[in-house]
């Protein structure tokens, strides 16, 4: 995350920056897929489909952003899916209990952050492997929401305003509230990552916790806050999806953790920590959503979906790898 | 062959359902008469003191331990369970039977079949009196399990299970309380849709996860309806995974490709509701009787009825969940407490519900749901 | 903590007592690491903290730099009793530490590394302002950075790109930008070249002039003289002595450190009798390297290795010494070049193959590259050649422990038993285990990369002795040592690398030392290895 | 101090803690849950858990080698599908076995190639292959209804009875013993450990780390295949989504048994005890009539507590068996547990 200072961005430098971009490979793949589809499927490039895809990718985007933050800090959060379900439940139920929407949302967000903090504490203070800690939290969260709802979907919390939050009602043309929120969050997070102490320390903790500690960084605090952020975004995703589906089945979060991780990694985040960007998270989310969209449009038999998703995941990572390898070779040759 | 059987069942179920629905008015009791359960139990509304006394004497206030395991927790199965509680409460009052009710659903999605097997097995070793199962588990697998249950003297009942897909002779259950997915759900939906569209139009189908028995059954029925109405063309299909947001996304994608479709069939109500949302999201028009996009699902859930009232959902097939729940108890009581014999397949009436008739279906479901949660946790 | 954070600290003039740690005790679950240790430091002095491995130096420094808390004892800093809870609060007091293992984060830029964790201290902003302004930071650190040889340009490069000295400099700058009163240097010269050390000592002196008190931990006692003012000497968690360096000699220090007569530890340079063999026909080539090439690292390197000789490889960091060895072991792929082992052309594609051919390597940076931390001594020794401990195809516990105990007694490895985990051993003993690991494969060619890095002088001597014995036993040894003294004293022949190519060779070193004297040889090597490109 | 260290040595014996916890739980359930100790129900749930026991063996190899295999559950399901399919085609049972195992091996190979040769992160690769395997099963079950084979010998693979235990339990036992031997007593096993402790130092000490890892993934895949065959023969029917999520139970069990996700620490039997702990917990709660919805919560908490205890014991034992002072605490702080 070295930043370029004035005078360094000569065309060659810029060129290398682009080529060495961690998610350059998948970006190329995406562009290719889009071009092919545009010719293959007239309804693909239509404004409506574009808005559909964008709206459909919102939930994963929120989760992927959170996941990226955790991955940068060298962690992993499997609990986002069930956290999303729990917080969605909180938002819905509380509204039904007659709380004003804002209060209900506040509770949901608080609980999301709370779960994140618990994850962080389990991992940093008790030294439980992140995989296990968040896996356990996944089960616990799912159990809680199922017990709470007894499996019955939550209904009757929808209101005019909530249709906007769900992105079902647009505010201007194709623009929906979730889109704005995603953009704002990713811009803010980008600034935080690139320009704030926290961001700096986040990357430091991720790439070398011991060195960071020696340098006087409070590693645990940073990690915990990373998980808290992930929890917060899971809560936001929960509030959003509750509005999108207008009903909350308790298992609504199932499998979302996987999508989130996949999206983050496709976007160039590394499970070894220290790498990852917001734009990457969004690219990843887009890739996953687009895959499904293309499957539906082209009319591929739905049973093939999982196979394709799996292949896309591995393919994307390979593509990123390949591109970076290539550019590194170019770069070295250029240097010597 | 398949056709023949189909038609056979077809006609005779419509006869039943006619009678059944007429008998239904009130509190949905009495179906038993036609279905093998003893007439005595049917005389619900006008309880007959001496009869109740006689049965009380046989029952001797015994306790019946029932295990109830749906494939997944959902609104549909909650309605069935509540209906069962209604009947249990009634029988407890009339015949002095005590109930121990344990509901255990495998955690996860429709594929969490290992869970179901484990649950049933545990009930077997705990010597329950009756076990009521609905599962996505494979037919052959569960039959083996049922056999062990029978050998231990437990009575196994299936509910809401597509038993019709398998030879009756191979069923190892005491009885299957349900309905016929082919002719009572898929076929009904298809024909209703065809009739409404005047025999011609383009439609989209959103199915549950491929391979499930419910999907297979309903598909057979729907295909038959399509065969009878060549004017109806299926332009697109997608997997909605039985859940709303997936159904929503799938419908959205298909609608962008075919904005000019006349109808969307959701194999279950959740997905149909998702489709109806997609119509709103796409700024398209809901079916108003002549124009717009018609949406039809199947289950008969309160949430569905609400949407029908709002005009967001054109129709749904009420698969008689409430009757299933009550029949289940009637049958268990008849076989376990009174030692009667019942028919292997007890199909409950189903009906396409739309604006014209949703009110009593809704009231009926609500009546069941309003049961005091005496038996459930 | 808070008032510490903004405590107004006046720059005290040299000579006045700035730090007084007294009666410090620390137990790590059940083990007495420190026992009533005291440390007194005058401002503006260079204070050497000496002691063998496990003497408790690092623990003491951890306490001082806020990494761990003492069980008992007081710390008085500038006349005020202080509690140091975290590295941060230490920094805020004005106590900075430069760790032995480089704590540089490669992914971050030099600048970011410098202000990581102390942003607010640099900009003097309130510590709660969440933002970092890199430009402002750059302005703040520029002057200090250039003084320690980091250019404006380099500030913005990823720190990973730079070598050991630059990284040290980065850490020094990092420590200095917050104007520390006390700077702790733990083995600051480890991994540095001779001339780099000189630069570093220069830096240390200039720090001293700035009135900064330096606490300096080192194993290289010879460095201490002429640089350190006072020394505190520790042994087994206790403070043995606190004296002025003046009037002391190496022997005194050693005997204080180890409680043993110095004579046994100070090396007597002696010529091994290989001269006899020179030219005689029963001498043969064990290794012939021709035309090693690897993009940007090695440029057409060719050399021979004879049986029974110690071939030293001199050169600065980045000259390609380690890279050459990695290539020999088949860890890195080469673009061109061929190897003859005992006259036979071989293709070494993987260390596995190298070991098969009888080439074994004792890697540098023991902690990271050397030990398999989770393994017991037994497993660590047998791993490279498990065949030796097989019995009808299965690993045999008896054979394994026998093997281990054989080496343990042979090299007098200090350990309760052969099942002890290797990571629990002291650096010297770990090194001995790794050497045993290599010898277990019965190699004919041994590669030692920085064999005495970070191990105390006692074990250092033993390792040297061992290497000599191996060579006398007819094995060929390739030795890499940044410490020229070590290299020259041990090697029979030295080849000098610069920027990936061989720039010189010195035959029969011991004789040369006898004839021209040690300094001449050293000067020759330094000159060749560090001459700027023409 | 002295007896303390004795105690530490005692509890430091691999897996003693989890074993004790397991015994305690058994006692608890046999008191609380009626018919917990009925041989039938025990035999039943052990029999049901056999697939998990088998995949956890392979998983242990992979984790100790420093990797992770998320695909085993899905692969197990797919192999069950393929073997049953060919058996329904009328192929002899041994062919069905071969096909099933080969299916597993194929995916093992896939994982191995992508992780060791293309050097993609294990988590991602196996996540991908998980999806691929699961999808493949969906496609398969979409084509054919896998509702059972006529071939009785195929059913007998898992169904035969020796000394009151089914053949699948025996097979599992044999596999556990054999692979424990391989892991602890064979050069290959030793190299697996070395690889997991540290790729680079292992490489420098002359170990072909890539080959070790490759082997580990093959074993994991192959065993998943075998587990699939047993499951298919036991259920005599396969449907999409079968065995989904087994991998998580397996991983949780392994970690609970003290197999370190950081690699280089653990053993097969400890992992098995961990899995046994989880399955028994599940069974006990079932028999107590606890709502399965609570299972997840209880299980989650048990995993957390178990891991904490295990690590505490590890630290404890460590600090007593030491000479130098800083190294351990340093080491423990330094250890990273991300995948």
The pLDDT of C3-27, averaged and rounded, is 61
For residue B25, what pLDDT band results from cuts at 50, 70 and 90?
Answer: very low
Among B122, B136, B211, beta carbon nearest to D138: B211
Percent of chain C residues past pLDDT 90, beyond the cut: 9
**Gap from C479 CA to chain D (nearest CA, Å):** 16
Alpha-carbon distance of D269 to D275, in angstroms, equals 10
pLDDT of A332 reads 53
pLDDT of B24 reads 37
The pLDDT of C463-489, averaged and rounded, is 87
Among B73, B236, B273, beta carbon nearest to A250: B73
Is the model's pLDDT at C346 over the cut of 70? yes
Order of strands across the sheet that contains C298-306? C298-306, C285-294, C336-341, C344-346
Alpha-carbon distance of A311 to A307, in angstroms, equals 6
For residue C98, what pLDDT band results from cuts at 50, 70 and 90?
Answer: confident
Alpha-carbon distance of B76 to A152, in angstroms, equals 9
User: DSSP letter at A3?
Assistant: P
With a CB cutoff of 8 Å and minimum separation 6, the contacts of B94 are B47, B52, B55, B56
Alpha-carbon distance of B103 to B88, in angstroms, equals 14
pLDDT of C265 reads 55
For residue B175, what pLDDT band results from cuts at 50, 70 and 90?
Answer: very high
pLDDT of B229 reads 94
With a CB cutoff of 8 Å and minimum separation 6, the contacts of A59 are A84, A237, A240, A241, A244, A256
Q: What is the ipTM of this complex?
A: 0.82
| Nearest of B132, B136, B62 to residue B102 by alpha carbon | B132
| Nearest of B113, B197, B179, B152 to residue B319 by alpha carbon | B179
pLDDT of C197 reads 79
Strands C445-449 and C359-362, sheet pairing: parallel
> Which of B105, B113, B207, B211 has the highest number of chain D CBs within 10 A, making it the mutation to test binding with D?
B211
pLDDT of C345 reads 87
The pLDDT of D237-261, averaged and rounded, is 86
Q: How many residues does chain D have?
A: 339
Q: Which residues in C136-245 belong to E strands, given as ranges?
A: 182-186, 213-217, 230-235, 238-244
Q: DSSP string covering C124-142, please?
A: T--TT--B--HHHHHHHHH
Q: Are A173 and A179 in contact (CB under 8 A)?
A: no
Alpha-carbon distance of A64 to A252, in angstroms, equals 17
CB–CB of D326 and C62 under 8 A? yes
Residues of chain A with pLDDT below 50 are: 1-9, 334-336
pLDDT of D109 reads 96
Which segment of C250-254, D80-84, D165-169 scores lowest on mean pLDDT? C250-254
> pLDDT digits over C168-196, tens only?
788 888 887 777 888 888 888 776 767 77
CA angle C175, C177, C181 (to 5 degrees): 65
Task: Confirm or reject contact between C527 and chain D (CB < 8 A).
Answer: no
List the structure tokens of A170: 């647009």
- Positive or negative, the CA dihedral A123, A126, A129, A134 is negative
Helix %, strand %, coil % of chain D (to 5): 75, 0, 25
For residue B26, what pLDDT band results from cuts at 50, 70 and 90?
Answer: very low
Among B77, B207, B253, beta carbon nearest to A296: B253
Alpha-carbon distance of C440 to C407, in angstroms, equals 9
Is the model's pLDDT at B225 over the cut of 90? yes
Strands C336-341 and C285-294, sheet pairing: antiparallel
Is the model's pLDDT at C404 over the cut of 80? yes
| Nearest of B350, B246, B368, B327 to residue B36 by alpha carbon | B327
For residue C31, what pLDDT band results from cuts at 50, 70 and 90?
Answer: low
pLDDT of C126 reads 60
The pLDDT of C145-164, averaged and rounded, is 80
Maximum distance among all alpha carbons in chain B? 66
Is the model's pLDDT at B231 over the cut of 90? yes
Size of interface A-C (CB pairs under 8 A): 94
> Which pTM was predicted?
0.84
CB–CB of C237 and D198 under 8 A? no
The pLDDT of D278-288, averaged and rounded, is 87
| Nearest of C463, C477, C480, C490 to residue C529 by alpha carbon | C480
Q: Which residues in A28-131 belong to E strands, given as ranges?
A: none
CB–CB of B249 and A292 under 8 A? yes
| Nearest of B31, B118, B23 to residue B69 by alpha carbon | B118
Half-sphere exposure of A18 toward its Cβ, with a 13 Å CA cutoff? 8
Is the model's pLDDT at C259 over the cut of 90? no
CA angle C366, C369, C375 (to 5 degrees): 80
Order of strands across the sheet that contains C213-217? C95-98, C182-186, C213-217, C46-50, C230-235, C238-244
Half-sphere exposure of C197 toward its Cβ, with a 13 Å CA cutoff? 18
Alpha-carbon distance of B78 to B89, in angstroms, equals 16
With a CB cutoff of 8 Å and minimum separation 6, the contacts of C46 are C204, C208, C213, C214, C216, C227, C228, C229
List the structure tokens of A226: 């990373």
Alpha-carbon distance of C436 to C406, in angstroms, equals 10
Q: Which of A240-249, D214-223, D269-278 has the highest mean pLDDT?
A: D214-223
Q: Where are the alpha helices (DSSP H) in C287-392?
A: 321-329, 351-356, 377-382
- For C3, other C-beta atoms within 10 Å of its C-beta total 7
> Which of A6, A200, A213 has the highest number of chain C CBs within 10 A, making it the mutation to test binding with C?
A200
CA distances from B53 to B43, B57, B99 (A): 14, 6, 18
3-state secondary structure of C213: strand
CB–CB of D45 and B118 under 8 A? yes
CA angle D54, D140, D226 (to 5 degrees): 15
Nearest-10 crossing angle of helices B244-257, A278-298 = 70
CB–CB of A310 and D128 under 8 A? yes
Is the model's pLDDT at B32 over the cut of 50? no
pLDDT of D330 reads 32
Instruction: Return the exposure string of C110-138: e unless at least 16 CB atoms fall within 10 Å of the residue's CB, then b.
Output: bbbbbbbbbbbbbbeeeeeeeebebeebb
Task: Confirm or reject contact between C307 and chain A (CB < 8 A).
Answer: no
For residue C225, what pLDDT band results from cuts at 50, 70 and 90?
Answer: confident
- Tell me if there are at least 3 CB pairs under 8 Å linking chains A and D: yes
Q: Given a contact as 3+ CB pairs under 8 Å, which chains touch A?
A: B, C, D
Averaged pLDDT score across all residues of chain B? 82
Is the model's pLDDT at D126 over the cut of 50? yes
Contacts of D255 in chain A (CB under 8 A): 129, 131-132
Which segment of B262-266, C396-400, C530-534 scores lowest on mean pLDDT? C530-534
Q: Where are the alpha helices (DSSP H) in C191-314?
A: 194-209, 221-224, 250-258
Is the model's pLDDT at C221 over the cut of 80? no
Alpha-carbon distance of B251 to C339, in angstroms, equals 67
The pLDDT of B24-50, averaged and rounded, is 47
Which segment of A310-324, B341-355, C215-229, D322-336 scores lowest on mean pLDDT? D322-336
Q: Are D167 and D157 in contact (CB under 8 A)?
A: yes
Is the model's pLDDT at C484 over the cut of 60? yes
Q: Which residues in B218-373 belong to E strands, given as ranges?
A: 232-239, 263-266, 294-299, 315-318, 345-347, 351-354
Size of interface A-B (CB pairs under 8 A): 100
The pLDDT of D278-284, averaged and rounded, is 88
Q: Which of A208-217, B310-319, C388-397 has the highest mean pLDDT?
A: B310-319
Strands C359-362 and C390-391, sheet pairing: unpaired
CA angle C88, C91, C95 (to 5 degrees): 135
Q: Are C234 and C55 in contact (CB under 8 A)?
A: yes
List the structure tokens of C97: 């530490």
pLDDT of C515 reads 84
Helix (H) or strand (E) holding C360: strand C359-362
| Nearest of C12, C10, C11, C4 to residue C90 by alpha carbon | C4
User: Which residue shows structure tokens 């030491």?
Assistant: D322
Q: How many residues does chain C have?
A: 534
Percent of chain C residues past pLDDT 70, beyond the cut: 87
CA distances from D178 to B279, D182, D274 (A): 60, 6, 19
With a CB cutoff of 8 Å and minimum separation 6, the contacts of A335 are C296
Contacts of D2 in chain C (CB under 8 A): none
pLDDT of B15 reads 33
With a CB cutoff of 8 Å and minimum separation 6, the contacts of A93 are A148, A154, A157
């Amino acid at each position: 995350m070295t930043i370029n200072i004035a005078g360094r961005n000569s065309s060659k430098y810029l060129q290398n920056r682009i080529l060495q971009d961690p998610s350059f490979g998948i970006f190329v793949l995406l562009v290719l897929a889009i071009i092919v589809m545009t010719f293959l499927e007239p309804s693909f490039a239509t404004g409506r489909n574009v808005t559909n895809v964008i709206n459909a990718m919102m939930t994963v985007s929120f989760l992927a952003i959170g996941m990226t933050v955790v991955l940068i800090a060298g962690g992993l959060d499997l609990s986002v899916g069930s956290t999303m379900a729990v917080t969605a439940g909180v938002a819905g139920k509380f509204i039904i209990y007659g709380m004003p929407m804002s209060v209900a949302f506040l509770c949901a967000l608080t609980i999301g952050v709370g779960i994140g903090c618990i994850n962080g504490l389990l991992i940093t203070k008790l030294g439980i492997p992140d995989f296990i800690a968040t896996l356990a939290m996944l089960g616990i969260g799912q159990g809680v929401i199922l017990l709470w709802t007894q499996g019955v979907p939550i209904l009757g919390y929808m209101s005019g305003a909530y249709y906007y939050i769900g992105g079902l009602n647009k505010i201007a043309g194709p623009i929906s509230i979730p889109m704005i929120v995603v953009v704002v969050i990713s811009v803010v997070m980008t600034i935080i990552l690139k320009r704030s102490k926290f961001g700096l320390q986040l990357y430091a903790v991720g790439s070398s916790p011991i060195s960071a500690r020696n340098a006087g960084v409070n590693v645990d605090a940073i990690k915990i806050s990373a998980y808290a952020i992930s929890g917060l975004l899971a809560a936001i995703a929960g509030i959003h999806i509750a509005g999108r589906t207008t009903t909350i089945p308790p298992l609504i979060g199932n499998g979302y953790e996987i999508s989130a991780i996949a999206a983050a990694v496709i976007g160039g985040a590394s499970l070894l920590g220290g790498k990852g960007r917001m734009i990457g998270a969004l690219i990843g989310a887009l890739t996953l959503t687009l895959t499904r969209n293309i499957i539906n449009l082209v009319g591929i038999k739905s049973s093939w979906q999982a196979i394709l998703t799996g292949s896309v995941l591995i393919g994307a990572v390979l593509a990123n790898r390949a591109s970076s390898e290539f550019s590194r070779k170019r770069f070295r040759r250029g240097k010597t | 062959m398949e056709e023949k059987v189909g038609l056979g069942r077809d006609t005779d179920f419509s006869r039943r359902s006619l009678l059944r629905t007429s008998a239904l008015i009130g509190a949905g009791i009495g179906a038993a008469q036609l279905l093998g359960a003893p007439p005595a139990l049917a005389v619900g509304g006008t309880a007959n003191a001496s009869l109740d006394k006689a049965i009380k004497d046989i029952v001797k206030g015994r306790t019946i331990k029932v295990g109830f395991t749906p494939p997944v927790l959902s609104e549909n199965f909650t309605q069935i369970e509540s209906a069962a509680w209604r009947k249990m409460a009634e029988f407890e009052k009339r015949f002095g039977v005590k109930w121990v009710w344990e509901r255990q659903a495998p955690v996860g999605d429709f594929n969490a079949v290992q869970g179901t097997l484990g649950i049933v097995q545990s009930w077997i070793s705990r010597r329950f009196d009756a076990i009521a199962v609905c599962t996505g588990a494979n037919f052959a697998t569960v039959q083996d399990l049922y056999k062990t249950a029978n050998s231990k003297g437990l009575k196994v009942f299936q509910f809401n299970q597509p038993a019709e897909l398998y030879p009756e002779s191979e069923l190892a259950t005491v009885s299957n309380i349900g309905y016929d997915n082919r002719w009572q759900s898929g076929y009904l939906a298809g024909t209703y849709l065809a009739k409404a569209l005047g025999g011609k139009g383009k439609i989209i189908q959103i199915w549950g996860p491929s391979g499930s028995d419910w999907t297979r059954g309903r598909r057979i029925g729907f295909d038959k309806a399509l065969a009878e109405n060549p004017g109806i063309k299926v332009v697109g299909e997608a997997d909605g995974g039985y859940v709303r947001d997936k159904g929503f996304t799938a419908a959205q994608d298909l609608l962008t490709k075919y904005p000019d479709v006349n109808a969307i069939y959701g194999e279950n109500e959740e997905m149909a509701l998702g489709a109806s949302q997609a119509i709103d999201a796409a700024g398209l028009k809901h079916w108003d009787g002549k124009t717009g996009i018609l949406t039809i699902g199947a289950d008969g859930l309160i949430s569905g009825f609400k949407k029908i009232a709002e005009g967001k959902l054109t129709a749904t097939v009420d698969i008689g969940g409430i009757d299933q729940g009550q029949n289940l108890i009637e049958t268990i009581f008849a076989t376990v407490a009174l030692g009667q014999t019942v028919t292997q397949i007890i199909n409950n009436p189903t009906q396409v519900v739309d604006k014209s008739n949703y009110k009593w279906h809704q009231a009926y479901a609500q009546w069941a749901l309003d049961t005091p949660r005496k038996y459930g946790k | 903590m808070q008032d510490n954070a903004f405590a107004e600290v006046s720059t005290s003039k040299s000579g006045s007592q700035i730090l007084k740690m007294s009666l410090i005790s620390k137990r790590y679950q059940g083990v007495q690491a420190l026992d009533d240790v005291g440390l007194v430091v005058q401002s503006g002095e260079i204070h050497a903290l000496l002691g063998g491995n496990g003497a408790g130096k690092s623990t003491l420094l951890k306490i001082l730099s806020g990494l761990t808390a003492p069980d008992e004892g007081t710390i008085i800093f500038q006349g005020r009793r202080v509690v140091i809870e975290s590295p941060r609060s230490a920094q805020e007091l004005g106590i900075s530490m430069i760790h032995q293992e480089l704590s540089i984060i490669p992914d971050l830029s030099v600048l970011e590394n410098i202000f990581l964790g102390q942003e607010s201290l640099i900009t003097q902003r309130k510590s709660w302002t969440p933002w970092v302004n890199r430009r402002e930071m750059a302005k703040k650190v520029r002057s200090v950075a250039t003084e320690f040889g980091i250019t404006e340009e380099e500030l913005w490069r990823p720190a990973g790109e730079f070598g050991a000295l630059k990284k040290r400099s980065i850490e020094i700058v990092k420590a200095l930008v917050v104007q520390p009163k006390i700077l702790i240097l733990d083995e600051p010269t480890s991994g540095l070249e001779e001339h780099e050390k000189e630069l570093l000592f220069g830096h240390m002196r200039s720090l001293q002039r700035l009135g900064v008190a330096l606490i300096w931990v080192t194993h290289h006692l010879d460095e201490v003289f002429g640089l350190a003012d006072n020394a505190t000497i520790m042994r087994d968690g206790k403070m043995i002595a606190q004296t002025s360096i003046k009037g002391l000699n190496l022997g005194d220090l050693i005997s204080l450190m180890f409680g043993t007569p110095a004579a046994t530890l100070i090396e007597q340079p002696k010529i091994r009798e290989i001269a006899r063999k020179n030219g005689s026909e029963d001498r043969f080539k064990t290794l012939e390297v021709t035309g090693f090439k690897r993009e940007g690292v090695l440029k057409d390197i060719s050399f021979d290795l004879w049986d029974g000789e110690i071939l030293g490889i001199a050169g600065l960091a980045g000259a390609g010494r380690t890279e050459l060895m990695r290539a020999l072991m088949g860890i890195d792929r080469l673009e061109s070049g061929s190897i003859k082992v005992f006259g036979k052309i071989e293709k070494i594609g993987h260390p596995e193959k190298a070991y098969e051919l009888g080439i074994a390597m004792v890697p540098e940076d023991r902690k990271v590259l050397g030990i398999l931390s989770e393994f017991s001594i037994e497993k660590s020794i047998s791993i490279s050649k498990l065949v030796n401990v097989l019995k009808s195809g299965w690993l045999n516990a008896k054979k394994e422990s026998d093997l281990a105990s054989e080496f343990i007694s042979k090299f007098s490895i200090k350990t309760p038993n052969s099942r002890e985990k290797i990571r629990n051993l002291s650096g010297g003993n770990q090194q001995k285990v790794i050497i045993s690991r290599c010898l277990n494969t019965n190699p004919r060619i041994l590669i030692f990369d920085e064999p005495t890095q970070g191990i105390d002088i006692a074990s250092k001597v033993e390792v040297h002795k061992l290497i000599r014995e191996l060579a006398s036993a007819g094995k060929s040894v390739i030795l890499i040592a940044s410490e020229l003294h070590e290299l020259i004293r041990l090697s029979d022949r030295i080849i000098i690398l610069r920027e990936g190519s061989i720039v010189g060779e010195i035959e029969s070193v011991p004789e040369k030392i006898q004839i021209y004297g040690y300094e001449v040889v050293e000067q020759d090597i330094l000159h060749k290895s560090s001459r700027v490109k023409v | 101090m002295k007896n303390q260290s004795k105690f530490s040595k005692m509890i430091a014996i691999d897996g003693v803690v989890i074993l004790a916890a397991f015994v305690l739980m058994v006692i608890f359930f046999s008191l609380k849950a009626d018919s917990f100790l009925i041989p039938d129900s025990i035999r039943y749930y052990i029999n049901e858990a056999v697939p998990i026991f088998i995949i956890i063996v392979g998983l242990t190899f992979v984790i100790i080698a420093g990797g992770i295999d998320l695909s085993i559950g899905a692969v197990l399901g797919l192999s069950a599908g393929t073997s049953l399919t060919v058996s329904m085609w009328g192929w002899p049972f041994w062919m069905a076995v071969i096909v099933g195992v080969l299916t597993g091996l194929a995916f093992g190979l896939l994982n191995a190639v992508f992780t060791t040769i293309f050097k993609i992160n294990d988590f991602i690769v196996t996540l991908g292959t998980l999806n691929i395997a699961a999808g493949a099963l969906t496609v398969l079950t979409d084509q054919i209804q896998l509702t059972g084979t006529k071939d009785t010998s195929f059913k007998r693979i898992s169904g035969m009875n020796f000394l009151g235990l089914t053949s699948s339990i025996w097979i599992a036992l044999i596999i556990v013993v054999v692979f424990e031997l391989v892991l602890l007593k064979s050069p290959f096993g030793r190299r697996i450990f070395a690889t997991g402790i540290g790729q680079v130092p292992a490489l420098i000490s002359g170990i072909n780390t890539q080959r070790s890892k490759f082997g580990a993934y093959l074993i994991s895949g192959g065993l998943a295949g075998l587990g699939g065959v047993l499951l298919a023969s036991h259920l005599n029917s396969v449907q999409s989504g079968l065995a989904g999520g087994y991998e998580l139970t397996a991983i949780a069990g392994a970690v609970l048994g003290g197999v370190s996700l950081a690699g280089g620490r653990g053993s097969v039997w400890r992992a098995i005890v961990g899995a046994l702990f989880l399955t028994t917990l599940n069974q006990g709660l079932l028999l107590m009539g606890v709502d399965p919805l609570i299972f997840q919560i209880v299980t989650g908490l048990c995993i957390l507590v178990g891991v904490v205890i295990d690590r505490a014991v590890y630290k404890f034992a460590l600090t007593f068996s030491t000479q130098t002072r800083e190294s351990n605490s340093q080491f423990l702080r330094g250890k990273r547990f991300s995948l």
